Amino acid sequence: MLTLLPTPIGNLEDITFRALRALEQCSVVLCEDTRVAKRLLQLLAQKFSLEFGQKRFISLHEHNQNAFLAKLEPSFFSQDVVYMSDAGMPGISDPGAKLVAYAQEHNIPYTVLPGPSAFVTAYVASGFGQKEFCFYGFLPHKGQERSQSLQKILQNSHNVILYEAPHRLLKLLEEITQIDPSRDLFLAKELTKIHEKFYKGEAKDLFEQLKNENIKGEWVVVVRASQQKQEQLCLGVEDLLALSLPKKELAKLLAKVSEKSVKEWYSILTKS
């Protein structure tokens, strides 16, 4: 049996009863960093007066996951196995997803425990409210790939959630300011920890503010959806519908400025 187990993102009291029970019962702990996992179990044992007993800790991370899974036998899961990331929900920005795919491929029973997740917590705290959103994880560190990803985010019609390292946070705010200085952002620092802090405002203002503050720690950034794109998309469709063009040609043009396909637009036009 495989259990994907979420761990606290800062506050030990966010661990669940089910997670503690799974840690008590398991024989093997797969984890990104064995030192972090062992320390977490020590802290949990002290705080909740528990005895976890002897566990086998095995490192499973981005750099060794393919080799590990290639050698893994399905019989390994005849014992109770837990996979936990260093912090938060496994399978989000860590190797958990490939482990789940392995379990599915080999018909291995598995379950995923609900629990702490930094991007969900930050989104609720943002108050932006739109029920549809996109999660991008970490942006590429540099180069054209980073620029292209940021452009897509700023043109997105949904709110977007990012993770960013503290040494790149000001760079991110500066890049957004150069493209869209008035874009509304929400920033969450050190979620659930003692020094948790929220910032909300326009990109240019937050960039200037955080130049003079201590930005060490873990950050989640929520980018409000592009209102400009939504307006342009609506106007573009209306303008095209007003044109006297053959239906096939009009359907092709409408597909280019909307999320509908040529076939969908042609069906709409022929029925109107």
pLDDT of residue 25: 97
What average pLDDT does this structure show over 101-108?
97
Domain boundaries, the chain: 2-112, 118-225, 228-271
d(CA 257, CA 253): 7
Tokens, residue 28 = 């093997």
Amino acid making up residue 210:
L
pLDDT of residue 251: 86
**pLDDT tens, position by position, 133-188:** 999 999 998 888 998 999 999 999 999 999 999 999 999 999 999 999 999 999 99
Reported as half-sphere exposure (CB side, CA atoms, 13 A), residue 175 has a value of 19
Amino acid making up residue 124:
V
Specify the range with the lowest mean pLDDT, choosing from 91-95, 179-183, 223-227: 91-95
pLDDT of residue 242: 82
pLDDT of residue 234: 47
- Tell me the CATH number of domain 2-112, given options 3.20.20.190, 3.40.50.720, 3.40.1010.10, 1.10.3300.10: 3.40.1010.10
Q: How does 109-146 read in b/e, with b if 16+ C-beta sit within 10 Å?
A: ebebbebbbbbbbbbebbebeeeebeebeebeeeeeeb
Q: Which helix (H) or strand (E) holds 256?
A: helix 247-256
- Residue 5: beta bridge partners? 84
What average pLDDT does this structure show over 50-54?
95
- Among residues 26, 36, 40, which one has the least CA distance to residue 61? 36
d(CA 102, CA 111): 13
pLDDT of residue 233: 42
d(CA 180, CA 56): 50
Contacts of residue 208, Cβ cutoff 8 Å, sequence gap at least 6: none
pLDDT of residue 228: 64
Is the CATH number 3.20.20.70 carried by domain 118-225?
no
**pLDDT tens, position by position, 239-253:** 778 887 888 888 888
Amino acid making up residue 51:
E
